[in-house]
Amino acid sequence: MFKVSKTAAAQLKRSMAHHDFDDMPVRIAAQKKPDGSIEYQMGFDEAGPGDTMVASGGIDVVISNDHKPLLAGTELNYVTTDDGAENFIFLNPNDPAFVPPSPGDDAD
């Protein structure tokens, strides 16, 4: 369903420790924009009614059942871009702009 890469899990764990959110799951949300692209949100949050909990890479992820179809098959990764910036990225086959990483890429 939803996967967290090793590099993303390591960065999330650092952030959790830094902000004292060690026991808090990460909530992932997605919304389709008018142009068909997908906008993502993420933050630390408790699970509630209507949520699904997924464990991946040692990280507990909470996804609202309303967002599950849009996030099915998605992988959260953490990468360094060509300009040296570090960012979380969503590799989502449901996104019309999604381009799968090539075999030589640093996907984990």
**Beta bridge pairs of residue 55:** 60
Q: What is the pLDDT of residues 12-70, one digit of tens each?
A: 999 998 888 877 899 999 999 998 889 999 999 999 999 999 999 999 999 999 999 99
**CATH topology (fold) of 2-91:** Hypothetical Protein Aq_1857; Chain: A; (2.60.300)
**How is the chain split into domains, by residue range?**
2-91
Q: Where do runs of H (alpha helix) occur along the chain?
A: 6-18, 68-71
Q: What is the pLDDT of residues 62-86, one digit of tens each?
A: 999 999 999 999 999 999 888 888 9
d(CA 22, CA 25): 8
